Amino acid sequence: MLRRKKNKARKAKKQLTLLAIVVALSVGLITLIILNQSFDRKGFEVANNRKTDVKTVKKIKEEATTKKKESSTNGEQSAVNIEESVPSVDDIPKTVNEVTSEPPGEYAPWRTKRNDGRKVAYLTFDDGPSVNTASILQILDENKIKATFFIIGQNAERNADLVKREAADGHTIGNHTYSHEISYRESPQNFMKDVDRCNVVLRNILGDTYNSKLMRFPGGSFGHRLDPFKAEVTRNGYTYVDWNDETGDAEAYNPTVPVLMNNLRRYTGAESVVILMHDAAAKKNTVQALPQVIQYLKDNGYSFDVI
Ligand SMILES: [Zn+2]
């Protein structure tokens, strides 16, 4: 009898402990869910704010593009044959290049987990403008895609109209130094002068409203030997961007389209891809491959954005 009672008491105790564990687990789970939801909301808000900013700028850019089309005049033709008229500085959106609100220093979009559930491709073209710029712009326009151009200052001086057109079309203009010659024996201060000189050229072409501090190192910023140079550009307020994807069009003089596409397929995968291509006279196949590059990215669920 006593034994049975004891057993009963033990059983009840066991049940109580079990109940306590279940309650504790439930409370823990609920707390986790609540915390997670508030975190998601915060993340979403950040993503949403950025989206709104980009949207606003895009809208302004679209309006400017429409305005440009309306106020078409027969501007002077550059050495490269441009079918459309050359936009004037007035046509360039006032907020051009304010899309990049990233703080000075390295910006690597692929290192940040996206909160918007998108896969985004950032097409970037270095070294222009060139004889290929007009063709690149036409393909981008046909696909309603905005890209980012990292401009060499001395090429910009020779093709100012193309730089204006890139900006008027709503693309982002970045600084790729004036001379594209980076000698690591030189001082970071001298390198900075080359960056600033490109900035002056871009401001002369695009107007004082060009206040972007977006730049890309010739050859990228990879490796520690560039640390003093990276520190210098950061100190001067510049945001620099490398890439995590490329067609490899700089690996040979003018790689064939299948080679470019193979490279792209090999490197594309991250939810944010910054794709390096070149806007340079020799790179005819980059232009040839561009529609396929765009199609491939679309087929793989990417939408496009500017840096
Ligand atoms: Zn370059």
- Phi and psi at 182, nearest 5°, equal -110, 115
The residues near 96 (Cβ < 8 Å, ≥ 6 apart) are: 61, 167, 172, 173, 206, 209, 210, 212
176 among known catalytic residues: no
How far is the centre of ligand 1, averaged over its atoms, from the C-alpha of 195 (Å)? 13
Tokens representing residue 44 in the block: 């979403």
SS3 283: coil
Tokens 């008491």: give the residue. Answer: 9
What is the spatial distance between Cα 123 and Cα 302, in angstroms, rounded to a whole number?
11
Distance 128 CA to ligand 1 centre (A): 9
Q: Which uninterrupted H or E stretch holds 6?
A: helix 2-70
What's the gap in Å between 176 CA and the centre of ligand 1?
7
- DSSP class of residue 282 equals T
Separation of CA 217 and ligand 1 centre (Å): 7
DSSP character at residue 91: G
* pLDDT at residue 210 in the model: 87
CA–centroid distance, residue 188 to ligand 1 (Å) = 18
Could you please report the per-residue DSSP string of 187-256? -HHHHHHHHHHHHHHHHHHH-TT----EE--TT-S-SGGGHHHHHHHHHTT-EEE--SEE--TTSSSS--
DSSP string, 146-160: --EEEE-HHHHHHTH
The confidence score (pLDDT) of residue 58 equals 42
Which residue type is seen at 23? V
Q: 33-304 has which fold?
A: TIM Barrel (3.20.20)
Catalytic member of 126, 127, 245, 305: 126
Q: Which residues neighbour 19 within 8 Å (Cβ) at sequence distance 6 or greater? A: none
Q: Cβ of 120: how many Cβ atoms within 10 Å?
A: 18
Mean pLDDT, each 10-residue run in order, the chain (307 residues): 56 60 53 42 35 38 39 34 48 48 91 92 98 98 98 97 96 96 82 95 92 93 92 96 97 96 94 97 98 98 95
**b/e for 207-237, b at 16 or more Cβ within 10 A?**
bebbebbbbbbbeebeeeebeebbebbeeee
* Span from the CA of 255 to the centroid of ligand 1 (angstroms): 17
Q: 219 CA to middle of ligand 1, Å?
A: 6
Of 105, 99, 102, the closest CA to residue 233 belongs to 105
Predicted local distance difference test score (pLDDT) of residue 181: 87
Q: Choose, from 169, 194, 278, 305, the residue flagged as catalytic.
A: 278
The DSSP output letter for 124 is: E
pTM attached to this predicted model? 0.70
Residue 171 appears among annotated catalytic residues: no
What confidence score (pLDDT) does residue 102 get? 85
What was the pLDDT predicted at 182?
74
